[in-house]
Structure 1
Amino acid sequence: MELERGSSKHGPRLDEQMSQEVAGLVQGPGTGGSRAEEFREPEPAGEDQPGATTAPAGELRSGAPKGMSSRDVEDRSRLGRFITMTALPGDREKLIANARENQAPADLIEELERLPDGTRYRTVSEVWAALGHKNETTRW
């Protein structure tokens, strides 16, 4: 016994008609079924202009603050994912315990173990700087 695909609310003919009406929305532009208005489609680059790139300045992410690269931002963010607010303010031992509790990778635990003993850190940025990394420069 073969089951017929379709909706239990509509008949097969209405299902087919509805399917054709939304095909452009489902398939997207460039598939022949698009009903997108022409003015919404991007224009190609001119003959004397380079094509669009995803990283025109070599940075994979825009918006890195002054004084930091996008890699610095990503690495500091990675550290922040494993040090929760409950550990701050905290010293080296509290930060390491918190990172282990949050299943931080071994390389981050090793970095935290390099922190000087007896210093309390209020923010992840303070921890990051104490590890010898760059934070954003202050804008005045």
Structure 2
Amino acid sequence: MERGNSKHGPRIDEQMSQEVSGLVQGPGTGGSRVDESRVPEPAGEDQPETTTAPAGDLRTGTPQGMSSTDVEQRSRLGRFISMSALPGDRLVLIASARENEAPDDIVAALERLPEGTEYQTVSEVWAALGHKNETTRW
């Protein structure tokens, strides 16, 4: 018993199988998987080669006024300060960091914070530790 498609005939089945043969069998069967009209043309002799992304800090999405290391270190600090600890003072922040099993360098940094100041955000804590936050863009 021959199995066929009830929506079209054998001629259309053959045509459709040829259209997808590159996808099914791979590129080694004589056909390319890429439509020739979609392949970008190479740059001309007087044109520079294209790049996908600029090098340096521009690739990391670093905010203006901070380096990628600053962003990583501030993020690391923020991982050990619970949202429930903010707003909070020095003692609350230290307790939160210890509760979250912060490494010794994080706890030591929080212990350097001045007493009697309440911090609203991790960025405020970061600035109080002597680091720079991103600059505001107008």
Contact 2:53/2:59, CA 8 A, preserved across alignment: no
Higher helix share: 2
Q: Which runs of 5+ in 2 are unaligned?
A: 1-21
What is the CA distance between 1:100 and its match in structure 2? Answer: 1.1
String of CA shifts for 1:2-46, please: whole Å, max 9, x gaps: xxxxxxxxxxxxxxxxxx96575xxxxxx8697344566677777
CA pair 43-112 structure 1, distance change in 2 beyond 3 A: farther
Name segments (4+ residues, structure 1) moved above 6 Å: 41-48
| Matched residue, 2:134 | 136
Give aligned-pair identity as a percent.
68
Q: Which runs of 5+ in 1 are unaligned?
A: 1-19, 25-30
CA displacement 1:77-115 (0-9 Å, x = unmatched)? 111111111000101111011011111111111111110
CA distance in 1, matches of 2:107, 2:25: 52
- Match of 1:59, SS state, is helix
Provide the rounded CA distance (Å) in 1 between the counterparts of 2:41 and 2:80. Answer: 44
1:67 aligns with 2:65: yes
Determine the structure 2 residue equivalent to 1:5: none
Q: How does 1:1-140 map to 2 (within 5 A)?
A: 35-37=33-35, 49=48, 52=51, 56=55, 58-59=56-57, 61-140=59-138
Q: Distance in 2 between the 1:23 and 1:115 partners?
A: 65
TM-superposed CA distance for 1:59, in Å, is 2.0
Task: Output the CA distance in 2 between the equivalents of 1:76 and 1:125.
Answer: 8
Rg larger for: 2
Counting matched residue pairs gives 114
Residue type matched to 2:80 in 1? F
Q: Residues 32 and 73 from structure 1, CA distance in 2 versus in 1: closer, same or farther, beyond 3 angstroms?
A: farther
Say what the alpha-carbon RMSD is for the aligned residues: 3.0
8 Å contact kept, 1:90–1:121:
yes
Q: Contact 1:60–1:70 at 8 Å: present in 2 too?
A: no
Alignment-mate amino acid for residue 74 of structure 2: R
Q: Distance in 1 between matches of 2:90 and 2:76?
A: 18
Deviation at 1:63, TM superposition (A): 2.2
